[in-house]
A and B are shown apart, each in its own frame.
Chain A
């Protein structure tokens, strides 16, 4: 294993979608060598193609990545950026057979309006009553919500159908989503909030019934559903990072360390594989993560954390409890001067003290701030 204190000036970018391409371009522009690993089809999708990660040894600055399906079977990199992206699934609304009500995605709808835009169709579109259905059957991700509202905006600019946006939990917490909802509302789009919704298809159209209203529409626009890539679980297990309850990759508490950092120092997640936001915000997330990676690799050495754990080798009984307990993959078994003992790699340690509390022989201490800060409050 290479010495973790010296940084391998290369970054591995995992994934093959838009986010990964952006990450690669940014790394190259920042003067970093890039190793690309698609890690596609590693779980479920069949037909694994290209290189896949088998496992990751070492720690930040000096990862040794075991690969399958590549020319090299082991590659050294200083940091790893996971940008798997997400995958789009067909919308969860299907009209019954024989229904004449068209159901389309926002993008397809806007394209159709644009195509139809000859003089005679303009009138026809103005008479349409369009139902844009969000958060059904489950919450619509922000990326596709923004896409739907942008399609609404495009259509209003071209023609003037009646548009009703049904939503349950539309979160306008980004600049883009806030602006889109405000501008479309000002342009005459009607927003209807619901808790319960029923759709009834008939030859006249689709009848949308909520607690507050009933409305007949003749076109239903439903965004695609978004899921985490099938490879997510496999990749998380092989790299030692976490998957959240929503099935997407998870960073550590971003309030403390900023978005993108995973529980394993030096491994980052970027873009859609960990973030529900509109496209603009997701791109900004990739930029921010790559900025941190480039800064790390340019630094030449991994900075030591303020506080880290240290094992007293002579007292270690090699029970491996700490290695099992460490949430950050920072402990390994090392033999030095004929003594085999657990060893905490300081650069990878978060100083949480979990191993200290769990060591049955109390062989681990926190340094240099071993003493707990105590103060008398006034």
Chain B
């Protein structure tokens, strides 16, 4: 469904150990993120805070995707959990000021999930009226 593709600015904030490693692997295969996606690498999901996400929106992003390592796989033990909770808290902040919650999304991944990452980015569009929004 190429006509459904949203090419407005998207910021992808991700842990260098999972999303970063996945992007490096994709680059080896000659694949890359679409040009409307800006990649922001962080050393660990635990570094991501509300301010960082809000700054991404402030910089002009229409959508922000936060990606951390899979549960239990964090090198710093609790980074994925912190990223998940901070993303959820930021979504509440966004909704409080009238920005739709679907514009902020959280995913977990392993370094071998580059293809999934590209798919998520493509599928990151406004929910259709009838369907239930992202939790």
**Residues on A close to B: CB < 8 A?**
242, 245, 252-253, 255-257, 263, 307, 327-328, 350-354, 356-357, 366, 372-378
Contacts and interface: CB of A to CB of B under 8 A. Distances in A.
Nearest to A261: B75
Nearest to B51: A357
B76 A377 contact: no
A327 B77 contact: yes
Interface majority SS (helix, strand, loop, mixed), chain A: loop
B39 A375 contact: yes
Nearest to B52: A357
Nearest to B41: A373
B77 A263 contact: yes
Interface extent on B, as a size class? 20 to 34
Nearest to B12: A377
Given A374-B39, A377-B35, A356 B76 contact: no
A376 B46 contact: no
Contacts of B76: 252, 263, 327-328, 350, 352, 354
A352 B75 contact: yes
Given A352-B43, A374-B41, A376-B35, 5 more contacts: A255-B111, A352-B46, A357-B46, A374-B38, A374-B39
A352 B82 CA distance: 12
Contacts of A256: 17, 75
A276 to B, nearest CB: 16
A307 B76 CA distance: 14
B44 A353 contact: yes
Contacts of B38: 374, 376-377
Contacts of B44: 350, 352-354
A42 to B, nearest CB: 24
B93 interface: no
A376 B38 CA distance: 6
A256 B78 CA distance: 16
Nearest to A351: B43
A366 B43 contact: yes
Given A352-B44, A372-B40, A377 B74 contact: no
B112 to A, nearest CB: 9
Contacts of A352: 43-44, 46-47, 75-76, 79
